Amino acid sequence: MSRLQPTRAFDIPSSVVTSVSPHAPQSHEAPWWRHAVLYQVYPRSFADSDGDGVGDLPGLTARLPYLADLGVDALWISPFYVSPMIDAGYDVADYRDVDPLFGTLADVDVLIEAAHGHGLRVLIDLVPNHTSGEHTWFRAALASGPGSPERERYLFREGRGEQGNEPPNNWKSVFGGSAWTRVTEADGTLGQWYLHLFDSLQPDLNWRNPQVVDEFHDVLRFWLDRGVDGFRVDVAHALLKDEAMPDWQEKAVMAASHSEGAEHANLGPMWDQDGVHEIYRAWRSILDSYNPQGDPALDRILCAEAWLPSQQRTMRYVRPDEMHQAFNFHFLETSWRAKDVRTVIDDSLEAADAVGAPTTWVLSNHDVVRHASRLGLRVGASRPNGIGARSVQPNAVLGLRRARAATALMLALPGSAYLYNGEELGLPEHTALPDRVRQDPAFFRTKGKEIGRDGCRVPLPWEAGAPSYGFGPSPDGATWLPQPLVYGSLAADRQEGVTGSTLEIYRSMLRLRRVHDLGVGGLRWIDGYGAQVLAFVNARKDGIPITVLTNLGDAAVALPESAEVLVCSGRLEDGLLPQDTTVWLAQRDRM
């Protein structure tokens, strides 16, 4: 029993009947990544050890006990490579070294060893689609002329029009503006154009060039040799472009569902070309070679970041000889409506089961509005790229309530789940950052039309009473992005040991998820609670079945008789489950 709620008996609704089983239980021996909870660390914002106001690797290492205590299984660390930080490190200038902002290679070694000592696996971020404009390869490409082998590592093309003044095609950058930039050649004349699906200082690599392929095989080995347990693969669906590079009228977007005016946006010729799968098959065999005996505990893994319009296309990346996991952005983008949530769960399990992969679940990351704020927006509103002071503001109380309910639902589902740093504190988006501190290239390239992602990247609060809320020892408490006042009341030390705090609820859920092996359980829906209630049982073959109810309707719901409340995302009211609340129940005598 959780220390958060007392055991109670409840009335059983007479109409409850069990129905469909969209997912069968898996073996207990399943490899770790089929059920793991992975915690995304955004290193700039996690913990600062040296007082420069930016998080770093020693800061993260010092906080590992907190993460072990939270109960996650693995970390995914966003990029810490050498970078001019045009896109917060997703513009890599050297794939084999650490930016001084974050520390040194020796700090990575210490971090990996300490994490392993705490039983935490470590995934790092691999950014293969593009380099930084400051990468030695790109500098060499600029210095060498058209047709040179140096240019062949990137996607240089002649411009259209008489003087080549027009870009080679009409592709747009995900961050706004054209996806092409023209270079000035060594003799001072305007020359070729190069492709960049993101910022102009993130030139896209030419993955049809064997040198590029070999280079990344070597980079994989470099980090595998250092002991990492895997890689999250940035824009995994972008590496190859349709060779003809035909015009494409729509904006390239990072969104899984279709949005108005961009119905086919992520079906364009820059995404999801069949050839990318060969790249990942080769990577898989490299990773597998580090586990020759096939010990499931020693698997090193790949997780695809691929924003694609259908679960089926996404699951092509996790066929048995390719990657292990792909982010389930369909789940993240689903509206807070019972029907929609049930549909996406069914679709996710079905699509993943069809290729024998585990599904993943995710609600927040460094690219989207934090779900404690996103779910406080109008249900059905399109997902904004950032929220600014002049935008429609989320309802913070409602958002947090729904976020806790949504996370409690997510963590009870079979499969693997991803958490984003700070969500265990219930952190909201910073919705009032002054424009002068913004850093997201999307804000600048869209001339402020898109607010961008800075609001979800604000440094974490650890101690309410300390400067920078304990983020680090900067003399004036300054942090690279300013923290909102509300972060003080949500600091980790304010929630530690407090019954019903978001942090304690996450800890309880993660502990129970492990105890009951929910990640490898089977899922069976229960009907009879009405259309606004999601009700299912997660059970492994010989374990205690866990019943999960999420109430999205406004009528409070009676719980089944003789149910023991294990954890609740909010408070029961007179023994009933109120709106926007999830409860996990054990029913020992009924199953």
Question: At closest approach, how far in Å is the CB of 394 from ligand NOJ?
Answer: 22
Question: Applying CB under 6 A, does 87 fall inside the site for ligand NOJ?
Answer: yes
Given a contact cutoff of 8 angstroms between Cβ atoms, the answer to whether 402 and 363 are in contact is no
* Beta carbon nearer to ligand NOJ, 367 or 424: 367
* Catalytic choice (48, 305, 440, 504): 305
Question: At closest approach, how far in Å is the CB of 87 from ligand NOJ?
Answer: 5
96: helix, strand or coil:
strand
Question: At closest approach, how far in Å is the CB of 279 from ligand NOJ?
Answer: 17
| Dihedrals phi, psi of 362, to nearest 5 degrees | -155, 145
In 3D, which of 122, 2, 125 has the Cα closest to residue 73? 122
How far is residue 119's CA from residue 106's CA, in Å, rounded to a whole number?
20
Report how far apart, in Å, the C-alpha atoms of 206 and of each of 149, 177, 241, 382, 504 are: 11, 21, 9, 34, 47
Type of residue numbered 367: D
* Beta carbon nearer to ligand NOJ, 198 or 317: 198
Question: Applying CB under 6 A, does 90 fall inside the site for ligand NOJ?
Answer: yes
Type of residue numbered 301: I
Question: Applying CB under 6 A, does 322 fall inside the site for ligand NOJ?
Answer: no
Given a contact cutoff of 8 angstroms between Cβ atoms, the answer to whether 313 and 268 are in contact is no
Tell me how crowded residue 105 is: count the other CB atoms within 10 A of its CB: 12
Question: At closest approach, how far in Å is the CB of 444 from ligand NOJ?
Answer: 13
- Helix, strand, coil percent content, the chain, rounded in steps of 5: 30, 15, 55
Question: Applying CB under 6 A, does 347 fall inside the site for ligand NOJ?
Answer: no
Given a contact cutoff of 8 angstroms between Cβ atoms, the answer to whether 451 and 387 are in contact is yes
Question: Applying CB under 6 A, does 127 fall inside the site for ligand NOJ?
Answer: yes
Question: Applying CB under 6 A, does 333 fall inside the site for ligand NOJ?
Answer: no
Report how far apart, in Å, the C-alpha atoms of 458 and of each of 106, 388, 483, 495, 536 are: 26, 14, 6, 19, 36
DSSP state of 117: H
Judge whether 243 counts as a catalytic residue: no
Report how far apart, in Å, the C-alpha atoms of 522 and of each of 37, 277, 357, 569 are: 17, 30, 14, 22
The sign of the torsion formed by the CA atoms of 127, 128, 133, 136 equals positive
Residue nearest to ligand NOJ (CB): 90
Query: What is the x/- site pattern for ligand NOJ, positions 428-467, by CB under 6 A?
Result: ----------------------------------------
Q: Residue 187 corresponds to which tokens in the numbers above?
A: 């003799």
* Beta carbon nearer to ligand NOJ, 130 or 507: 130
Question: Applying CB under 6 A, does 204 fall inside the site for ligand NOJ?
Answer: no
Query: What is the x/- site pattern for ligand NOJ, positions 289-308, by CB under 6 A?
Result: ----------------x---
In 3D, which of 141, 133, 220 has the Cα closest to residue 186? 141
* Beta carbon nearer to ligand NOJ, 366 or 404: 366
Question: At closest approach, how far in Å is the CB of 8 from ligand NOJ?
Answer: 43
Question: At closest approach, how far in Å is the CB of 41 from ligand NOJ?
Answer: 13
Judge whether 56 counts as a catalytic residue: no
* Catalytic choice (73, 107, 125, 234): 234
Question: Applying CB under 6 A, does 367 fall inside the site for ligand NOJ?
Answer: yes
With CB under 6 A, what is the number of residues at the site for ligand NOJ? 9
Question: Applying CB under 6 A, does 534 fall inside the site for ligand NOJ?
Answer: no
Question: Applying CB under 6 A, does 80 fall inside the site for ligand NOJ?
Answer: no
Q: Name residues contacting ligand NOJ, limited to 230-269 (CB under 6 A).
A: 234-235
Query: What is the x/- site pattern for ligand NOJ, positions 141-180, by CB under 6 A?
Result: ----------------------------------------
Strand partners, 302: 231
Question: Applying CB under 6 A, does 198 fall inside the site for ligand NOJ?
Answer: yes
Given a contact cutoff of 8 angstroms between Cβ atoms, the answer to whether 204 and 129 are in contact is yes
| Dihedrals phi, psi of 135, to nearest 5 degrees | -65, 145
Question: At closest approach, how far in Å is the CB of 432 from ligand NOJ?
Answer: 22
Which sequence positions are flagged as catalytic? 234, 305
Q: Residue numbers of the site for ligand NOJ (CB under 6 A)?
A: 87, 90, 127, 198, 234-235, 305, 366-367
